[in-house]
Structure 1
């Protein structure tokens, strides 16, 4: 029970931080035209997925507090939308890494294609992967009583193993692409412009955050199953990986705010309409930090 309360507390706290951050990404993209781009539209799709994932974790926290147990055929339909978006966000993260490759190696195509068409094409892969996983989950659904109603446990063990292994594979590809991108921007940063070096620094931060959030979550879920654990031990250990998932859902806004002076200025301008923010120390710090690097946006990589 103490473990359940600990997990539920994590869910409530990180929900507050994550919903605030992702709502800001969507609001600033909508109200600030200078932040709109092909990349930002994909980022908005990721934020929508993260919001839905965070909201679906709240009922799970209630189940943890009460100790209610469900059969899989009652749990899975209730969280099937959550599973769809938890699958989608993993592939969208990969698409956000592929996006700079398109910019660098297919620049002409990137510039000619419309933002909406580009976003639809990039998001079609997450849609297909999520649809396949959820459909398979419905086909394999059974009446087993499960300790926790969450994706690793709510999915049938066969589908859950596919989900975790495919995520580990995609996450590994994402990290390899990240490293390759860093090498590209490092090389270009020495020969060409200062902004590519700043972009490289942001990519390094993104790699570290990614490794210690979603990658750790899926790697842990798959590793515990691969070790042959079963029953309550497997359920408890896999469920504790929710901390890394919550960290993944929460972090994008704060990484962007930290690394992008343009985004910080837009955030300050947007929140300056609210009296509670006008004289706050956070506003003053954000203004000072934005003035240090006023010319370069590390948010929209397509501007480099």
Structure 2
């Protein structure tokens, strides 16, 4: 691969990292702030979503040094790169499993409603975050055990990990993401048949699930599937590194999108967002806009379920 193509690619990836950092940090920090200042938005589901936002913030911030290395063309050895981004790898692993836990959470809401209402928020959240913690800690620990001094072209998770650990990471992510996708589809089918008989909130939640599936498939699932696919079809060397590194676009999209999807699909979040930023004249004028009240109010329904535990 020519040096010119490699340089252009590095500039493009660096630009993507900076742009998505601005959008992603704004969105994730706003989500945390809204959950903190609005009691109606505090529920088990949104505490888990907060953990996802924290993970995404760390993932975005750790991409910034990588953008500098890409732009300058500096290369590091694995025994320097991996320890430097090991915390990033922990959170990148955690956020993948937390996404699955959010779907499991919705499954529990639908099929184990009594259990969901009775269990304490802290206990429930700790339970749901236990598996992400164990998976992340195991991957990082194995990465340290297998670490060597090989020169790495890019200092990012799939390349900074030893090839054996990187293969485990990508394959386990594809497996986890496939489970998430299957569970998503199962819930959508369930809501489809139940929606004809139950309240409109169920049908609205089903619509939101469809949006979540599309965003999920075209972000994190596409990223991990691509990383694993390039290895499976026999790519090696600089060509493999080139294609794997460009999968960062889908990862960045994953880290950035949850708040904006929530803002789009939930009038409750739109109203809370506008109220929080109403000290700005351009935002204050939005209060009179009709779009502020449109679409589903699913978050209200979930929050009501948890109101006794607040």
Whether these two folds match at TM > 0.5 is yes
- Residues 146 and 153, structure 1, Cα contact 8 Å, conserved in 2: yes
What is aligned with 1:292?
294
Deviation at 1:72, TM superposition (A): 0.3
1:27 corresponds to 2:33: yes
List alignment gaps of at least 5 residues for structure 1: none
Deviation at 1:226, TM superposition (A): 1.0
What is aligned with 2:167?
161
Deviation at 1:187, TM superposition (A): 1.6
What is the count of residue pairs matched by the alignment? 298
What is aligned with 2:308?
none
Which structure 1 residue ranges, 4+ long, deviate > 2 Å from structure 2?
A: 273-279, 290-293, 298-304
- Residues 161 and 222, structure 1, Cα contact 8 Å, conserved in 2: yes
Alignment of 1:150-189 (within 5 A): 150-189=156-195
1:157-202 per-residue CA deviation (whole Å, 9 max, x = no partner) reads: 0000000000000100100000011111112211011111100000
For residues 301 and 161 of structure 1, do their structure 2 counterparts lie closer, same or farther at Cα, with a shift above 3 Å needed? farther
- Residues 199 and 301, structure 1, Cα contact 8 Å, conserved in 2: no
What is aligned with 2:120?
114
List alignment gaps of at least 5 residues for structure 2: 1-6, 306-310
Q: TM-score, normalised by structure 2?
A: 0.93
Q: Give me the whole-angstrom Cα distance separating, in 1, the residues matched to 2:248 and 2:299.
A: 27
What is aligned with 2:111?
105
Q: Give me the whole-angstrom Cα distance separating, in 2, the residues matched to 1:5 and 1:256.
A: 31
Alignment partner for residue 220 of structure 2, among 208, 211, 214? 214
For residues 154 and 300 of structure 1, do their structure 2 counterparts lie closer, same or farther at Cα, with a shift above 3 Å needed? farther
SS where residue 299 of structure 2 aligns? coil
Q: Give me the whole-angstrom Cα distance separating, in 2, the residues matched to 1:119 and 1:238.
A: 34
C-alpha RMSD over aligned residues:
1.3
Alignment of 1:1-304 (within 5 A): 1-279=7-285, 283=286, 287-293=289-295, 296-299=296-299, 302=302, 303=304
Q: Give me the whole-angstrom Cα distance separating, in 2, the residues matched to 1:229 and 1:299.
A: 45
1:41-74 per-residue CA deviation (whole Å, 9 max, x = no partner) reads: 0000000000000000000000000000000000
Deviation at 1:276, TM superposition (A): 4.9
For residues 147 and 47 of structure 1, do their structure 2 counterparts lie closer, same or farther at Cα, with a shift above 3 Å needed? same
SS where residue 290 of structure 1 aligns? helix
Q: Give me the whole-angstrom Cα distance separating, in 1, the residues matched to 2:19 and 2:102.
A: 27
Deviation at 1:299, TM superposition (A): 3.3
1:192-249 per-residue CA deviation (whole Å, 9 max, x = no partner) reads: 1111110000000000000000000000000011112111111111000000000000
Q: Give me the whole-angstrom Cα distance separating, in 1, the residues matched to 2:140 and 2:86.
A: 6
